[in-house]
A and B are shown apart, each in its own frame.
Chain A
Amino acid sequence: MLTAIFAIGLYLAVLVLVVGTAFRLVHYVRIPVPLVIPTTPAPITRTGVVARLFREVVFFESLFKGSKWTWLFGWIFHFAMLIALLEHLRYISEPVWWWIVAIQWIGLYAGIAMCLGLVGLAVRRIVVDRIRYISAPSDHLMLLLLVGIAASGVGMKVLWHTDIVALKAFVIGLIRFDWQPLPADPVLLIHLSLVIVLMLIFPFSKLLHAPGVFFSPTRNMVDTPRERRHVSGWGERTSRRKVMSQEPKSRG
């Protein structure tokens, strides 16, 4: 029963996460960008734009300019989460890839760092009057949800160990559509439940910032409007129609 609930829950969550996010991104792609609006100074080559996005995604370049504390906590949280996610790949790889084995020892510290970063962000959200003003209940709850995931993960590492061999069998079973029993440890069930919630809300929440940054015209456009005529979607149609209609008057 428990195994079935979590198996179905995880299938559903992955489905919603992947399909929901894909729908959103396809939706973005179909909307034109009628004008050239990079925040300048901006790169004048595609390579430069790739580098700009890389710096944005890997170093949070703009946030660093904007707020050192938020940058510090945010960067620690995100990169600790990345490491924790990579560490979790051991549950789906069989045999476990060598580089996943190599980073296993960091997992615990990554989990702790995640918590610290999140607590830092949460404290700022409550203490700084400006950020408190702009926070909705969902903004606080999102941090709570992530702290819950990280803390329960750390908890299983240090206090309430779970049977990770059985857990891995469960995960591999899910992938192969050959369900194996899920260990019924309460902390593990909390951990998995929160992860399911996170995946379910991803496409419908501000978590869309993750893919969104790649679609941001102020960051992903090349600053060459004079060198190359930019036309897209409805902008192209109106431009052509109007420009052509005025041409004959002057040059005959």
Chain B
Amino acid sequence: MVKQKFPVPVITEHLQVPRVQPDAMAETKPFVAKAEFQEALGFPGELVDNWQSVALDKMSELLGKYRALPVFLDACVKCGACTDKCHYYLGTGDPKNMPVARQDLMRNVYRRYFTFAGRYFPKLVGAQDLTESVLEDWYRYYHQCSECRRCSVYCPFGIDTAEITMAGREILASVGLGQKYANEIIGKVHKIGNNLGLPEPALADTLTGLEEEVEEDIGIQVRFPLDEAGADVLLVTPSADFFAEPHVDGLIGYAKVFHQAGIRWTLSSYASEAANFGIFIGNYDQMQKVAERIRQAALDLGVRRIVIGECGHAWRVAYSYWNTLIGPFDFLDTNYPAPQHVCELTYDLIQRGALTLDPSANDEKIVTFHDSCNVSRGSRMGSMPGGQFTLPREIIQSVCNQFVDMAPETTHEQTFCCGGGGGLLTDDLLELRVKGALPRVTALKQVVDNHGVTHMAAICAICKSQFSKVLPTYGFDMDMIVSVHQLVGDALVFNSAH
């Protein structure tokens, strides 16, 4: 087990709402992006001298570009419904991790410079000058939000702190305070095509290795095609699927599904990444630029369908934003939604009886499902609202005999973030990640204790990486976290005479 420099929260039987502990997480902030990575994305390399006026100009610009921003900043009545909803507040007790207080870091500045009341009666309405310490708070606390939108479910006005956080990060980047982890990754996508900086030869090698591994395992040649023009399906998946555990077992699962369904598919070395960290830093242009690679790859390879692998925010970007950013998808097969989630594809195949499944292959597992935040609250699957909850569950129940849901206030639209989403999956934020996982881990422990759950399935690369890392700090086995398509792959029955 990893030795921690900070106390790991104790799991209680039921989740406790902590008392307010001011500045509990004031020491926590991610590394600032170095000049070369900032400049590569068109941001200033370091904090500019006139940062205050640059920040306010940027804020003014964003207020005129995104309607949500002024509406959200004006409408909050401080009712407090969100105050006990954020996993980072629940895990840390730092009041600035309460969604409304996180918003207030910006709202108070907005009031000071952009509203009548704040200009003339700042004390009365809590308006605040944009001082250096406010800017530091922005950097800290806009990087202690995973943009999971849980707060927005409970807000009577639908205020989504994620939108405020995105604006905050956008302003920070524009004055020279970008975040190292996210901005370096975006740079790698522009340069190489994926978050990991895995070049084409290495990717090809990895895929060949996987083909051998699967053949050894099940005695069947399952292909992992790369850059095959004329394939029907372009699969775009988070690059963690190429080698990280347990992600890679999910990739093997997709390949087996394609194989058994007889679908010609391919990966692309040019667009070898589903993740789009442009959403995390709140930058429309970066998000669009990252997404464009995928449209380009689809056109170049002449595919008829685009399918997205298991990745939460990637699915939100693909489902909700792609049509706007890089659409229309009139060059694709109109019989299928564009883009399509791999769970939608697998679900349809199961419905049509196109897959031979033996759920007893997973009989040693009692499985629960972790709803990923961006899938749950920022997207849909299938034709009905809520399909993002039912499809993955029905898939799991088709391939596993033993399935148990976690407590209802921690699943579906009320799901808790894994603690590592929104561009925070970096070791310089490990304390935050561990503490932020507390609500999810508490719910997990309940089903482990009461129902003997052995595995938690997820459809998000960040969730999988995060849980692999933090579950052991709470005394769970890191192998508890599995891909949904690993369960599918293991249950698929192949005719060995094939």
Contacts and interface: CB of A to CB of B under 8 A. Distances in A.
Interface string B89-113: 0000001001011001000000000
A179 B194 CA distance: 74
A218 B158 contact: yes
A193 interface: no
A39 B124 contact: no
Contacts of B158: 39, 56, 62, 213, 216-219
B299 interface: yes
Contacts of B152: 39, 218
B295 A39 contact: no
Interface residues of B, number: 82
Interface in B29-79: 63-68, 70-72, 74-79
Contacts of A204: 115-117
A124 B77 CA distance: 14
Contact of B379 (A34, A40, A125, A133): A40
B227 to A, nearest CB: 14
B80 A67 contact: yes
Given A31-B65, A31-B66, A218-B68, A206 B75 contact: yes
Contacts of B80: 67, 70, 124-125, 128, 130-131, 134
**A contact patch SS:** helix
Give the residue among B75, B80, B323, B337 with the most A Cβ atoms within 10 A.
B80
B471 interface: no
Given A218-B152, A223-B380, A250-B299, A34 B126 contact: no
B19 interface: yes
Interface residues of A, number: 72
A238 B285 contact: yes
Contacts of B322: 225
A48 to B, nearest CB: 8
A176 interface: no
Interface stretch (B133-141, B325-333, B428-436): B325-333
Given A137-B126, A204-B117, A246 B320 contact: no
Contact of A217 (B67, B123, B154): B67
A131 B377 contact: no
B84 interface: yes
A35 B154 contact: no
B77 A209 contact: yes
A128 B300 CA distance: 59
Contacts of B95: 130, 133-134
B65 A234 contact: yes
A148 B324 CA distance: 50
B29 to A, nearest CB: 21
Given A28-B67, A130-B84, A246 B321 contact: no
A71 to B, nearest CB: 8
B380 A31 contact: no
Contacts of A230: 323-324
Of all A-B residue pairs in the complex, the 5 with the closest CB atoms, nearest first, are A66-B154, A136-B126, A66-B81, A212-B75, A250-B299
21 contacts: A27-B70, A31-B65, A32-B65, A35-B321, A37-B320, A39-B378, A41-B385, A41-B388, A63-B155, A66-B81, A66-B155, A67-B79, A70-B81, A129-B20, A133-B101, A201-B117, A209-B74, A209-B157, A226-B339, A235-B324, A249-B299
Given A35-B324, A226-B319, 12 more contacts: A31-B63, A33-B67, A35-B321, A62-B155, A67-B154, A128-B80, A134-B80, A134-B100, A204-B115, A206-B78, A225-B324, A246-B292
